[in-house]
Structures are given as structure tokens and as C-alpha cells.
Amino acid sequence: MDRRDFLKTGLVAAGASLGPGLLTPAQAAGGAVVAVAQNAGLEQMEEAVAAEVIRRMTFTAIADAVQAPSVQEAVKQLFKPTDVVALKLNCIAPEISPQPAVVNAVVEALTFAGVDKKNVIIFDKEDRDLTAAGYTCTATGPGPMVYGTVGPTKNPGYEDRFTEQGQTAFCLSKIVTREATAIVNIPVIKQHTFAGMTCALKNHFGSIHNPEDFHYIGGCNPAVADVNLAPALRQKQRLCVVDGIYLQYEGGPSYNAAYVDYYGSIIASRDPVALDTEIIILLDMIRKQHDLPPLGEAIRPPKHVATAASYGLGCGDPAQIRLAVRSV
């Protein structure tokens, strides 16, 4: 069984306990860890029951990503009680955005490290994106706070000065530069017409003022990697937690129900490049099942992941990535 089969079989075989002990020697030799917590039956559960299962899946994925014995121990390794933690969502297509059950679980996990909810900011590019995805924007109250970089709720806006990284110039969200001391990246999985695919790295196009400037230039490459090279992002991002309950394998980034599959997974990693490397493998496997070519043969393949690896932003070699899969 190769790692492509392993990812898919882990979902089909829900109920089996698949843990790090099943890693191949090549996988175990690497330093980057991508943790997958799966459940094949979420669609058949009542909403409250599914939310509780998603909560446990999120905790399991975070603990395994950090290789800690529990989610409590994991977050204590990553966050301080004094941190202000920004959770970057991807709500550009509200129908396939991070589900509140996943985000709520991450917020609860942060409290295990002593982070007060009033110091948690759930954000995306604009208030209207968050609202359309089902979040209630607020900049007051007991927390967490919920607002966009742009919007009437708080409107912190973007830095006036450009950040220049490589060939790319952009203004970062003040939530990233001035408000947050730590970032949790919470993307979704989609094929992307311009970038090939979007998950952890591409999600930070929602942290800059001008992502549209790069959509027609080199398939967003090297722009996506350049943005992730910005010190304010690279130094503050502590964790990525992917809502992989559903994924869109074609027709993105806009929502297209015809190309959405249930995958029933929460996927976590501290390494955004390793995470996106595994997501490309997953998308290629699912595209093959639907008689579609791999992403690498598309008009705009996802070159930004390899570029990010070449910058030293993470591990882009599947043989050096530990893949930990559990059924929850």
C-alpha cells in the first residue's frame, strides 16, 4: 500500500485505529508531520453529535501534529497565555468554508494553553465573507472576536507600506502585523483555477490587500510563496488545521457542488508546505477517481508549493513527511 492508498483507505476503514505506528520507515525518517483524523459517518449524524465528533477529531489531529500525548500538552507547546491568536479562515466561497464546529474546537483548544477567548480573533479578508459563511462579526464581548481586515465591525485595514518579498509586493493585514502574536491557519481544500490548488499556503492571499494582482501571473507563483515568506506570517504562524470534511477537486475557487466530495477529515500540521504537499497527492488521487488529470498537468499547476519548499518554508518531499492517520 503506498501513501496515496493509505490516505483513502484510512477513511474507508473508519473504526480501525490507524496511528503513527503504521508509518513506513521512509515516512518516519522525516521531521515534518501531517496528522489526519477521520470519520466516515459525519453526514449521517445529527448536527450536535457531528459537532462533538468534529471536536474530538480536531483535538486528535492537533495532538498528533505536535506529537504530544494530548491536545492540552500540544497547545501548551505552541502558545502562551499572553498570546493574541488570530485564526485565518478561508470564507471566499461560503458554501465550502471552515465549519464553526472546527473553529470552535480550535478556540477551545487554545484555552487549554491559557489563552483567553477575548484574545482570539477569527478573521478573513472582509466582514461580509465571514458573515456569509455563518459567523457573527463582533469586536466586543467575552470573545472570541470575529471581524475582517475590512468591514464595519472594526476595520483595522492594511498596512500603508508595502512588504516586498522576492518578486512580490503587498500590504499585510494589520490583524497580522499589529494585533496577533500568533496565527492558526484554518483553510479548506479546493482545486483553484489560477493557483492549481488552495489550502494552507494560498490561504494567506486573504491576509494581503491585492491577491487579484497575482492570479494571472505565473499561476500565483512565486507570489503565494513570497507572501508566506513575510516575517510577520512566517514567524507568527504556529499551526495549520484544515477543515477537510468536504473538499472540492475541480472548478474552484468558487463553490461548485458538482465537484465536491465528502472526505470526513481534519488535517493538522505545523508545516504548511508538508501539508499542501500531502493535499496535492490527495487531490490527484480523487481527481483520478473522477477521470480528471492530475493537478500537475493542468494549465496552471500548483507550482507555489515547490517554490515555498525551495525557500525553506517547509518540507516538500513526501518521503520526508510523517503521515499520521487515525479514525475517530
236-251 residue pLDDT tens: 999 999 999 999 999 9
What pLDDT score was predicted for residue 24? 34
CB contact burial 25-61 (16+ within 10 A = b; e otherwise): eebeebebbbbbbbbbebeeeeeeebbebbbebbbbb
What pLDDT score was predicted for residue 20? 29
What pLDDT score was predicted for residue 31? 78
Specify the range with the lowest mean pLDDT, choosing from 6-10, 173-177, 309-313.
Answer: 6-10
Residue 8: band (very low, low, confident or very high) from pLDDT cuts 50, 70, 90? low
Residue 5: band (very low, low, confident or very high) from pLDDT cuts 50, 70, 90? very low
Residue 217: band (very low, low, confident or very high) from pLDDT cuts 50, 70, 90? confident
Q: Give the CA count within 13 Å in the CB-facing half-sphere of 227.
A: 26
- The runs of H, that is alpha helices, within 185-316 are 200-203, 223-229, 231-234, 272-289, 304-310
Region 263-267: mean pLDDT is 97
**pTM value surpassing 0.85:** yes
Count of beta carbons in the 10 Å neighbourhood of residue 6: 17
The CA-CA-CA angle for residues 298, 303, 308, to 5°, reads: 160
pLDDT at 25 over 80: no
Positive or negative, the CA dihedral 224, 304, 94, 176 is: negative
With beta carbons less than 8 A apart as the criterion, state whether 241 and 185 touch. Answer: yes
Positive or negative, the CA dihedral 307, 308, 313, 315 is: negative
Q: Which residues pair with 50 in a beta bridge?
A: none
What pLDDT score was predicted for residue 298? 84
Residue 47: band (very low, low, confident or very high) from pLDDT cuts 50, 70, 90? very high
Three cell numbers, residue 119: 484574545
CA distance 220 to 169: 13
pLDDT at 30 over 60: no
The fraction of the chain above a pLDDT of 70, given in percent, is: 91
